[in-house]
Amino acid sequence: MSRKVPYRFYLTEDQMPTQWYNLRADMKEQPDPLLNPATLEPLKEEDLYPIFCKELAHQEMDSKTRYYDIPEEILGMYKIYRPSPLIRAYNLEKELGTPAKIYYKFEGNNTSGSHKLNSAIAQAYYAKKQGLTSLTTETGAGQWGTALSEACAYFGIPLTVFMVKCSFEQKPFRKAVMQTFDADVIPSPSTTTQVGRKILEENPGTTGSLGCAISEAVEKATTTEGCRYVLGSVLNQVLLHQSIIGLEAKKAMEILEEYPDVVIGCAGGGSNLGGLISPFMRDKIVDGKDVRIVAVEPASCPSFTRGKYAYDFCDTGKVTPMAKMYTLGCSFMPSANHAGGLRYHGMSPILSKLYHDGLMEAVSYEQTAVFEAAKLFARVETILPAPESSHAIKGAIDEALRCKETGEEKTILFGLTGTGYFDMTAYSAFHDGTMKDYIPTDEELEKGFEKLPKVDK
Ligand SMILES: *Cc1c(COP(=O)(O)O)cnc(C)c1O
Protein backbone atom coordinates (compact mmCIF):
# COMPACT_ATOMS: atom_id res chain seq x y z
CA MET A 1 0.00 0.00 0.00
CA SER A 2 1.39 3.37 -0.94
CA ARG A 3 0.74 6.05 1.60
CA LYS A 4 -1.29 9.15 0.92
CA VAL A 5 0.88 11.61 -0.94
CA PRO A 6 0.63 15.41 -0.84
CA TYR A 7 -0.57 17.46 -3.78
CA ARG A 8 2.81 19.11 -4.17
CA PHE A 9 6.01 17.42 -3.17
CA TYR A 10 9.39 19.15 -3.03
CA LEU A 11 12.72 17.56 -2.30
CA THR A 12 14.65 19.51 0.30
CA GLU A 13 17.77 21.38 -0.81
CA ASP A 14 19.86 18.59 0.74
CA GLN A 15 18.05 15.94 -1.24
CA MET A 16 18.68 17.65 -4.57
CA PRO A 17 20.83 15.69 -7.03
CA THR A 18 24.39 17.05 -7.28
CA GLN A 19 25.29 15.14 -10.45
CA TRP A 20 23.89 14.91 -13.96
CA TYR A 21 23.36 11.46 -15.46
CA ASN A 22 24.67 10.54 -18.92
CA LEU A 23 22.30 7.91 -20.29
CA ARG A 24 24.66 7.03 -23.15
CA ALA A 25 26.98 5.35 -20.62
CA ASP A 26 24.29 2.70 -20.08
CA MET A 27 22.99 2.35 -23.63
CA LYS A 28 23.97 -1.03 -25.05
CA GLU A 29 23.79 0.32 -28.56
CA GLN A 30 25.20 3.79 -29.07
CA PRO A 31 23.68 6.50 -31.28
CA ASP A 32 25.55 6.84 -34.58
CA PRO A 33 28.30 9.48 -34.48
CA LEU A 34 27.99 13.04 -35.77
CA LEU A 35 29.55 13.35 -39.22
CA ASN A 36 31.68 16.05 -40.74
CA PRO A 37 29.58 17.07 -43.77
CA ALA A 38 32.67 17.74 -45.90
CA THR A 39 34.37 14.36 -45.38
CA LEU A 40 31.48 12.21 -44.07
CA GLU A 41 33.92 11.03 -41.39
CA PRO A 42 32.88 10.87 -37.72
CA LEU A 43 33.56 14.16 -35.95
CA LYS A 44 36.25 14.44 -33.32
CA GLU A 45 35.88 16.51 -30.19
CA GLU A 46 38.34 19.12 -31.53
CA ASP A 47 36.22 19.56 -34.66
CA LEU A 48 33.54 21.05 -32.43
CA TYR A 49 35.79 23.65 -30.75
CA PRO A 50 35.04 26.42 -33.29
CA ILE A 51 31.30 26.04 -32.58
CA PHE A 52 31.02 25.02 -28.90
CA CYS A 53 33.14 25.81 -25.87
CA LYS A 54 35.55 23.00 -24.98
CA GLU A 55 33.84 21.49 -21.96
CA LEU A 56 30.54 21.31 -23.84
CA ALA A 57 32.24 19.79 -26.88
CA HIS A 58 33.62 17.19 -24.48
CA GLN A 59 30.22 16.48 -22.95
CA GLU A 60 28.76 16.22 -26.44
CA MET A 61 31.15 13.44 -27.44
CA ASP A 62 31.42 11.64 -24.10
CA SER A 63 29.43 8.43 -24.05
CA LYS A 64 31.48 6.89 -21.22
CA THR A 65 31.25 9.08 -18.11
CA ARG A 66 28.11 7.99 -16.30
CA TYR A 67 27.81 10.86 -13.81
CA TYR A 68 29.03 14.45 -14.03
CA ASP A 69 29.39 16.53 -10.86
CA ILE A 70 27.33 19.68 -11.24
CA PRO A 71 29.68 22.64 -10.54
CA GLU A 72 28.92 24.65 -7.37
CA GLU A 73 28.16 27.84 -9.34
CA ILE A 74 25.53 26.01 -11.37
CA LEU A 75 24.02 24.36 -8.31
CA GLY A 76 23.90 27.81 -6.71
CA MET A 77 21.73 29.09 -9.52
CA TYR A 78 19.65 25.90 -9.74
CA LYS A 79 18.74 26.39 -6.10
CA ILE A 80 17.05 29.71 -6.90
CA TYR A 81 14.26 27.85 -8.72
CA ARG A 82 14.83 24.16 -8.00
CA PRO A 83 13.94 21.57 -6.93
CA SER A 84 10.83 21.78 -9.08
CA PRO A 85 7.67 20.31 -7.59
CA LEU A 86 6.33 16.84 -8.31
CA ILE A 87 2.59 17.29 -8.32
CA ARG A 88 -0.04 14.62 -7.81
CA ALA A 89 -2.89 15.54 -10.16
CA TYR A 90 -5.67 14.52 -7.78
CA ASN A 91 -8.06 17.02 -9.37
CA LEU A 92 -7.37 15.80 -12.89
CA GLU A 93 -7.75 12.17 -11.80
CA LYS A 94 -11.13 13.00 -10.27
CA GLU A 95 -12.23 14.99 -13.31
CA LEU A 96 -11.39 12.04 -15.58
CA GLY A 97 -12.79 9.45 -13.20
CA THR A 98 -9.70 7.33 -13.71
CA PRO A 99 -8.26 4.75 -11.32
CA ALA A 100 -4.79 5.80 -12.57
CA LYS A 101 -2.49 7.87 -10.41
CA ILE A 102 -1.21 10.87 -12.32
CA TYR A 103 1.95 12.75 -11.36
CA TYR A 104 3.60 15.62 -13.17
CA LYS A 105 6.93 17.32 -12.79
CA PHE A 106 6.39 21.06 -13.22
CA GLU A 107 9.29 22.98 -14.76
CA GLY A 108 7.52 26.31 -15.32
CA ASN A 109 8.57 27.99 -12.05
CA ASN A 110 11.19 30.34 -13.48
CA THR A 111 11.12 33.41 -15.70
CA SER A 112 11.82 31.49 -18.91
CA GLY A 113 8.60 29.62 -18.15
CA SER A 114 10.20 26.32 -19.09
CA HIS A 115 12.79 23.65 -18.33
CA LYS A 116 15.24 25.37 -20.71
CA LEU A 117 16.98 27.27 -17.92
CA ASN A 118 18.50 23.98 -16.66
CA SER A 119 20.79 23.79 -19.68
CA ALA A 120 21.12 27.54 -20.31
CA ILE A 121 22.82 28.01 -16.94
CA ALA A 122 25.27 25.19 -17.63
CA GLN A 123 26.13 26.42 -21.11
CA ALA A 124 26.64 30.04 -20.04
CA TYR A 125 28.74 28.91 -17.08
CA TYR A 126 31.17 26.83 -19.17
CA ALA A 127 31.46 29.62 -21.75
CA LYS A 128 32.35 32.10 -19.02
CA LYS A 129 34.84 29.70 -17.50
CA GLN A 130 36.62 29.37 -20.85
CA GLY A 131 36.83 33.17 -21.11
CA LEU A 132 34.57 33.52 -24.15
CA THR A 133 33.41 37.07 -24.80
CA SER A 134 29.99 36.50 -26.38
CA LEU A 135 27.41 33.85 -27.21
CA THR A 136 24.78 33.48 -29.88
CA THR A 137 21.76 31.24 -30.31
CA GLU A 138 18.38 30.82 -31.95
CA THR A 139 14.97 30.73 -30.37
CA GLY A 140 11.64 29.54 -31.72
CA ALA A 141 8.81 30.18 -29.32
CA GLY A 142 11.15 32.25 -27.16
CA GLN A 143 11.64 30.15 -24.04
CA TRP A 144 15.19 29.17 -24.89
CA GLY A 145 16.16 32.74 -25.79
CA THR A 146 14.71 33.92 -22.50
CA ALA A 147 16.40 31.19 -20.49
CA LEU A 148 19.78 31.89 -22.07
CA SER A 149 19.33 35.65 -21.62
CA GLU A 150 18.78 35.07 -17.91
CA ALA A 151 21.84 32.84 -17.67
CA CYS A 152 24.08 35.18 -19.71
CA ALA A 153 23.01 38.21 -17.68
CA TYR A 154 23.88 36.29 -14.51
CA PHE A 155 27.34 35.30 -15.76
CA GLY A 156 27.93 38.62 -17.59
CA ILE A 157 28.20 37.40 -21.20
CA PRO A 158 26.76 39.45 -24.12
CA LEU A 159 24.20 37.45 -26.13
CA THR A 160 22.67 37.70 -29.61
CA VAL A 161 19.43 35.78 -30.17
CA PHE A 162 18.10 34.95 -33.64
CA MET A 163 14.36 34.60 -33.13
CA VAL A 164 12.18 32.83 -35.72
CA LYS A 165 10.38 35.70 -37.47
CA CYS A 166 6.80 34.49 -37.01
CA SER A 167 7.30 34.15 -33.24
CA PHE A 168 9.08 37.51 -33.14
CA GLU A 169 5.95 39.05 -34.64
CA GLN A 170 3.44 37.01 -32.62
CA LYS A 171 5.18 37.44 -29.28
CA PRO A 172 6.53 40.98 -28.97
CA PHE A 173 6.68 40.72 -25.19
CA ARG A 174 9.17 37.88 -25.39
CA LYS A 175 11.61 40.33 -26.90
CA ALA A 176 11.00 42.75 -24.05
CA VAL A 177 11.76 40.03 -21.51
CA MET A 178 15.00 39.13 -23.26
CA GLN A 179 15.98 42.80 -23.44
CA THR A 180 15.48 43.02 -19.69
CA PHE A 181 18.37 40.58 -19.52
CA ASP A 182 20.35 42.67 -22.06
CA ALA A 183 20.07 40.27 -25.02
CA ASP A 184 20.19 41.55 -28.60
CA VAL A 185 17.18 40.00 -30.38
CA ILE A 186 17.12 39.75 -34.21
CA PRO A 187 14.22 38.34 -36.26
CA SER A 188 15.36 35.43 -38.48
CA PRO A 189 15.97 35.08 -41.37
CA SER A 190 17.82 38.40 -41.23
CA THR A 191 20.12 40.37 -43.48
CA THR A 192 22.87 40.31 -40.83
CA THR A 193 24.29 36.96 -42.01
CA GLN A 194 25.22 35.50 -45.38
CA VAL A 195 23.03 32.46 -44.89
CA GLY A 196 20.09 34.64 -43.81
CA ARG A 197 20.40 36.77 -46.96
CA LYS A 198 20.55 33.64 -49.10
CA ILE A 199 17.44 32.12 -47.48
CA LEU A 200 15.58 35.43 -47.93
CA GLU A 201 16.56 35.58 -51.59
CA GLU A 202 15.28 32.07 -52.26
CA ASN A 203 12.19 32.46 -50.09
CA PRO A 204 11.31 36.18 -49.81
CA GLY A 205 8.05 35.81 -47.84
CA THR A 206 9.34 33.23 -45.36
CA THR A 207 8.40 33.62 -41.70
CA GLY A 208 11.43 31.60 -40.74
CA SER A 209 12.08 28.30 -39.03
CA LEU A 210 14.26 27.01 -36.25
CA GLY A 211 16.55 25.47 -38.87
CA CYS A 212 17.15 28.90 -40.50
CA ALA A 213 17.77 30.61 -37.19
CA ILE A 214 20.30 27.93 -36.22
CA SER A 215 22.22 28.52 -39.47
CA GLU A 216 22.38 32.23 -38.76
CA ALA A 217 23.54 31.79 -35.19
CA VAL A 218 26.20 29.25 -36.15
CA GLU A 219 27.51 31.59 -38.85
CA LYS A 220 27.69 34.43 -36.37
CA ALA A 221 29.59 32.25 -33.87
CA THR A 222 32.12 30.97 -36.38
CA THR A 223 32.80 34.43 -37.86
CA THR A 224 33.07 36.38 -34.58
CA GLU A 225 36.20 36.28 -32.41
CA GLY A 226 35.57 34.85 -28.91
CA CYS A 227 31.98 33.95 -29.76
CA ARG A 228 30.41 30.49 -29.57
CA TYR A 229 27.06 28.99 -30.41
CA VAL A 230 24.74 27.37 -27.91
CA LEU A 231 21.68 25.26 -28.58
CA GLY A 232 18.75 24.62 -26.28
CA SER A 233 17.72 21.14 -27.37
CA VAL A 234 18.59 18.09 -29.54
CA LEU A 235 22.25 17.88 -28.45
CA ASN A 236 23.61 15.19 -26.13
CA GLN A 237 25.01 17.85 -23.73
CA VAL A 238 21.52 19.36 -23.36
CA LEU A 239 19.99 16.00 -22.49
CA LEU A 240 22.76 15.55 -19.93
CA HIS A 241 21.90 18.86 -18.21
CA GLN A 242 18.17 18.13 -18.38
CA SER A 243 18.68 14.81 -16.57
CA ILE A 244 18.20 16.89 -13.42
CA ILE A 245 14.44 16.72 -14.14
CA GLY A 246 14.31 12.94 -14.18
CA LEU A 247 16.73 12.50 -11.28
CA GLU A 248 14.63 14.79 -9.07
CA ALA A 249 11.41 13.13 -10.20
CA LYS A 250 12.72 9.64 -9.50
CA LYS A 251 14.05 10.56 -6.08
CA ALA A 252 10.80 12.27 -5.13
CA MET A 253 8.81 9.23 -6.24
CA GLU A 254 11.10 6.94 -4.27
CA ILE A 255 10.40 8.94 -1.13
CA LEU A 256 6.68 8.70 -1.88
CA GLU A 257 7.11 4.94 -2.45
CA GLU A 258 5.98 5.24 -6.04
CA TYR A 259 7.34 4.18 -9.41
CA PRO A 260 5.82 5.07 -12.78
CA ASP A 261 4.37 2.46 -15.13
CA VAL A 262 4.38 5.04 -17.90
CA VAL A 263 6.51 8.16 -18.39
CA ILE A 264 5.18 10.66 -20.92
CA GLY A 265 6.76 13.81 -22.34
CA CYS A 266 6.35 16.17 -25.24
CA ALA A 267 9.05 16.06 -27.89
CA GLY A 268 10.35 18.98 -29.92
CA GLY A 269 14.07 18.35 -30.10
CA GLY A 270 13.86 15.90 -27.22
CA SER A 271 15.57 17.69 -24.34
CA ASN A 272 12.88 17.66 -21.66
CA LEU A 273 11.81 14.16 -22.61
CA GLY A 274 15.39 12.91 -22.68
CA GLY A 275 16.02 14.50 -19.29
CA LEU A 276 12.83 13.27 -17.68
CA ILE A 277 13.19 9.68 -18.85
CA SER A 278 16.93 9.23 -18.40
CA PRO A 279 16.96 7.50 -14.98
CA PHE A 280 13.85 5.48 -15.84
CA MET A 281 15.31 4.42 -19.18
CA ARG A 282 18.42 3.40 -17.24
CA ASP A 283 16.27 1.15 -15.05
CA LYS A 284 14.67 -0.31 -18.16
CA ILE A 285 17.99 -0.99 -19.90
CA VAL A 286 20.12 -2.02 -16.92
CA ASP A 287 17.62 -3.58 -14.50
CA GLY A 288 14.98 -4.72 -16.98
CA LYS A 289 12.29 -2.58 -15.35
CA ASP A 290 8.96 -2.72 -17.06
CA VAL A 291 8.36 0.99 -17.64
CA ARG A 292 6.81 2.41 -20.79
CA ILE A 293 8.23 5.62 -22.22
CA VAL A 294 6.06 7.70 -24.55
CA ALA A 295 6.97 10.72 -26.69
CA VAL A 296 4.17 13.04 -27.77
CA GLU A 297 4.57 15.25 -30.81
CA PRO A 298 2.39 17.49 -33.00
CA ALA A 299 0.71 15.89 -36.02
CA SER A 300 1.88 18.92 -38.01
CA CYS A 301 5.57 18.27 -37.27
CA PRO A 302 5.72 14.47 -36.82
CA SER A 303 9.45 13.68 -36.69
CA PHE A 304 9.17 10.40 -34.75
CA THR A 305 5.88 9.08 -36.09
CA ARG A 306 6.35 9.88 -39.77
CA GLY A 307 9.99 10.92 -40.13
CA LYS A 308 12.89 8.91 -41.51
CA TYR A 309 15.79 7.60 -39.42
CA ALA A 310 18.63 9.01 -41.47
CA TYR A 311 21.64 11.29 -41.45
CA ASP A 312 20.57 14.90 -41.87
CA PHE A 313 21.77 18.42 -41.16
CA CYS A 314 20.64 19.99 -37.92
CA ASP A 315 19.82 23.27 -39.69
CA THR A 316 18.24 24.57 -42.91
CA GLY A 317 21.38 26.31 -44.16
CA LYS A 318 23.40 23.07 -43.92
CA VAL A 319 26.24 24.60 -41.92
CA THR A 320 26.08 22.17 -38.98
CA PRO A 321 27.45 18.62 -38.65
CA MET A 322 25.15 15.80 -39.73
CA ALA A 323 23.34 13.70 -37.15
CA LYS A 324 21.57 10.37 -37.51
CA MET A 325 18.08 11.03 -36.24
CA TYR A 326 14.38 10.88 -37.01
CA THR A 327 13.92 13.78 -39.37
CA LEU A 328 11.44 15.35 -41.74
CA GLY A 329 14.34 16.77 -43.74
CA CYS A 330 16.17 19.98 -42.86
CA SER A 331 14.15 21.91 -45.46
CA PHE A 332 10.88 21.03 -43.70
CA MET A 333 8.90 24.02 -42.45
CA PRO A 334 5.78 23.35 -40.41
CA SER A 335 2.57 25.00 -41.60
CA ALA A 336 2.34 28.67 -40.53
CA ASN A 337 -0.89 28.03 -38.62
CA HIS A 338 0.88 25.52 -36.38
CA ALA A 339 0.90 27.31 -33.02
CA GLY A 340 2.00 24.68 -30.59
CA GLY A 341 5.78 24.91 -30.65
CA LEU A 342 7.74 21.66 -31.13
CA ARG A 343 8.54 22.85 -34.66
CA TYR A 344 11.98 21.33 -35.14
CA HIS A 345 12.49 19.06 -38.18
CA GLY A 346 14.75 16.56 -36.38
CA MET A 347 15.05 14.83 -33.02
CA SER A 348 17.72 14.11 -30.42
CA PRO A 349 20.02 11.36 -31.77
CA ILE A 350 19.89 9.61 -28.36
CA LEU A 351 16.10 9.46 -28.35
CA SER A 352 16.05 8.58 -32.04
CA LYS A 353 18.25 5.58 -31.34
CA LEU A 354 16.13 4.46 -28.37
CA TYR A 355 12.98 4.79 -30.45
CA HIS A 356 14.55 2.97 -33.36
CA ASP A 357 15.54 0.12 -31.04
CA GLY A 358 11.99 -0.18 -29.71
CA LEU A 359 12.76 1.10 -26.21
CA MET A 360 10.21 3.90 -26.43
CA GLU A 361 6.97 4.75 -28.21
CA ALA A 362 5.65 7.88 -29.90
CA VAL A 363 2.22 9.33 -30.64
CA SER A 364 1.09 12.50 -32.38
CA TYR A 365 -1.90 14.76 -31.82
CA GLU A 366 -3.55 17.58 -33.73
CA GLN A 367 -3.32 20.97 -32.12
CA THR A 368 -7.02 21.58 -31.36
CA ALA A 369 -7.08 18.32 -29.37
CA VAL A 370 -3.96 19.48 -27.55
CA PHE A 371 -5.53 22.82 -26.63
CA GLU A 372 -8.67 21.06 -25.41
CA ALA A 373 -6.47 19.04 -23.08
CA ALA A 374 -4.72 22.27 -22.02
CA LYS A 375 -8.02 23.88 -21.15
CA LEU A 376 -9.29 20.92 -19.17
CA PHE A 377 -6.00 20.72 -17.29
CA ALA A 378 -5.90 24.46 -16.53
CA ARG A 379 -9.45 24.39 -15.19
CA VAL A 380 -8.77 21.68 -12.60
CA GLU A 381 -5.04 22.05 -11.88
CA THR A 382 -4.96 25.90 -12.18
CA ILE A 383 -1.73 26.05 -14.19
CA LEU A 384 -1.92 27.64 -17.67
CA PRO A 385 0.24 25.19 -19.60
CA ALA A 386 2.50 25.96 -22.55
CA PRO A 387 1.13 24.54 -25.81
CA GLU A 388 4.24 22.34 -26.03
CA SER A 389 3.65 20.90 -22.57
CA SER A 390 0.01 20.36 -23.42
CA HIS A 391 1.01 17.61 -25.82
CA ALA A 392 2.21 15.64 -22.80
CA ILE A 393 -0.98 16.51 -20.93
CA LYS A 394 -3.02 15.13 -23.82
CA GLY A 395 -0.91 11.98 -23.84
CA ALA A 396 -1.37 11.52 -20.09
CA ILE A 397 -5.12 12.13 -20.26
CA ASP A 398 -5.53 9.54 -22.99
CA GLU A 399 -3.50 7.02 -20.98
CA ALA A 400 -5.61 7.73 -17.89
CA LEU A 401 -8.80 7.30 -19.90
CA ARG A 402 -7.58 3.94 -21.16
CA CYS A 403 -7.03 2.94 -17.53
CA LYS A 404 -10.62 3.95 -16.85
CA GLU A 405 -11.79 1.50 -19.50
CA THR A 406 -9.60 -1.36 -18.34
CA GLY A 407 -9.74 -0.58 -14.63
CA GLU A 408 -5.93 -0.62 -14.39
CA GLU A 409 -4.48 1.45 -11.55
CA LYS A 410 -1.41 2.55 -13.40
CA THR A 411 0.97 5.22 -12.18
CA ILE A 412 1.52 7.84 -14.84
CA LEU A 413 4.29 10.43 -14.73
CA PHE A 414 4.41 13.24 -17.24
CA GLY A 415 6.56 16.30 -17.80
CA LEU A 416 4.82 19.65 -17.55
CA THR A 417 7.58 21.64 -19.17
CA GLY A 418 6.25 25.15 -18.82
CA THR A 419 3.64 27.87 -18.74
CA GLY A 420 1.82 29.43 -21.67
CA TYR A 421 1.51 33.12 -20.77
CA PHE A 422 3.21 34.17 -24.01
CA ASP A 423 1.03 31.93 -26.13
CA MET A 424 -2.17 33.87 -25.82
CA THR A 425 -2.43 34.43 -29.60
CA ALA A 426 -2.69 30.66 -29.93
CA TYR A 427 -5.06 30.34 -26.98
CA SER A 428 -7.24 33.10 -28.49
CA ALA A 429 -7.35 31.30 -31.84
CA PHE A 430 -8.42 28.17 -30.00
CA HIS A 431 -11.13 30.00 -28.01
CA ASP A 432 -12.62 31.80 -31.01
CA GLY A 433 -12.58 28.68 -33.16
CA THR A 434 -10.15 29.93 -35.81
CA MET A 435 -7.42 27.44 -34.87
CA LYS A 436 -7.00 24.91 -37.70
CA ASP A 437 -5.40 21.51 -37.67
CA TYR A 438 -2.90 20.82 -40.35
CA ILE A 439 -1.48 17.41 -41.13
CA PRO A 440 1.12 17.32 -43.90
CA THR A 441 0.36 14.89 -46.72
CA ASP A 442 2.73 12.05 -47.63
CA GLU A 443 3.62 13.95 -50.80
CA GLU A 444 4.59 17.02 -48.79
CA LEU A 445 6.77 14.97 -46.47
CA GLU A 446 8.31 13.19 -49.47
CA LYS A 447 9.67 16.54 -50.68
CA GLY A 448 11.61 16.88 -47.45
CA PHE A 449 12.91 13.30 -47.64
CA GLU A 450 14.07 13.74 -51.25
CA LYS A 451 16.48 16.43 -50.11
CA LEU A 452 18.06 14.33 -47.36
CA PRO A 453 21.84 14.17 -47.84
CA LYS A 454 22.98 10.97 -49.49
CA VAL A 455 24.98 9.24 -46.79
CA ASP A 456 25.72 5.56 -47.04
CA LYS A 457 25.66 4.97 -43.27
C1 LIG B 1 11.35 24.14 -25.84
C2 LIG B 1 10.20 23.60 -25.12
C3 LIG B 1 9.75 22.30 -25.37
C4 LIG B 1 10.32 21.39 -26.41
O5 LIG B 1 11.68 21.21 -26.42
P6 LIG B 1 12.37 19.82 -26.06
O7 LIG B 1 13.79 20.04 -26.34
O8 LIG B 1 11.75 18.78 -26.94
O9 LIG B 1 12.10 19.59 -24.64
C10 LIG B 1 8.70 21.82 -24.63
N11 LIG B 1 8.09 22.59 -23.71
C12 LIG B 1 8.47 23.85 -23.47
C13 LIG B 1 7.74 24.65 -22.45
C14 LIG B 1 9.56 24.39 -24.15
O15 LIG B 1 9.95 25.64 -23.89
Span from the CA of 201 to the centroid of ligand 1 (angstroms) = 30
Asked, for residue 310, whether it belongs to a domain, the answer is yes
CA-270 nearest atom, ligand 1 = 8
Asked, for residue 36, whether it belongs to a domain, the answer is no
Asked, for residue 439, whether it belongs to a domain, the answer is yes
State how far the Cα of 308 lies from the Cα of 120, in Å rounded to an integer: 29
Asked, for residue 151, whether it belongs to a domain, the answer is no
3-state secondary structure of 91: helix
pTM exceeds cut of 0.85: yes
Asked, for residue 336, whether it belongs to a domain, the answer is yes
Return all residues near 353 (Cβ < 8 A) that are at least 6 apart.
27, 29, 30, 31, 32, 324
In one-letter notation, the amino acid at residue 302 is P
Asked, for residue 97, whether it belongs to a domain, the answer is yes
* Closest to 298 (Cα-Cα) out of 331, 348, 335, 245: 335
Asked, for residue 263, whether it belongs to a domain, the answer is yes
**Tens digits of pLDDT across the chain (457 residues):** 455 899 999 999 999 999 999 999 999 999 999 999 889 999 999 999 988 999 999 999 999 999 999 999 999 999 999 999 999 999 999 999 999 999 999 999 999 999 999 999 999 999 999 999 999 999 988 999 999 999 999 999 999 999 999 889 988 899 999 999 999 999 999 999 999 999 999 989 888 888 889 999 999 999 999 999 999 999 999 999 999 999 999 999 999 999 999 999 999 999 999 999 999 999 999 999 999 999 999 999 999 999 999 999 988 778 888 999 999 999 888 887 787 778 889 999 999 999 999 999 999 999 999 999 999 999 999 999 999 999 999 999 999 999 999 999 999 999 999 999 999 999 999 999 999 999 999 999 999 999 999 887 7
Pocket mutation for ligand 1, best pick of 143, 148, 294 (most atoms within 8 Å of C-beta): 143
Asked, for residue 55, whether it belongs to a domain, the answer is no
Beta strands at 101-106 and 184-188: parallel, antiparallel or unpaired: unpaired
Number of domains composing the chain: 1
Boundaries of domain holding 287: 8-16+70-113+236-450
Pocket of ligand 1 (CB under 6 A): 114, 116, 143-144, 233, 266-273, 341-342, 386, 388-389, 417-418
Q: Residue 272's domain is classified under what CATH number?
A: 3.40.50.1100
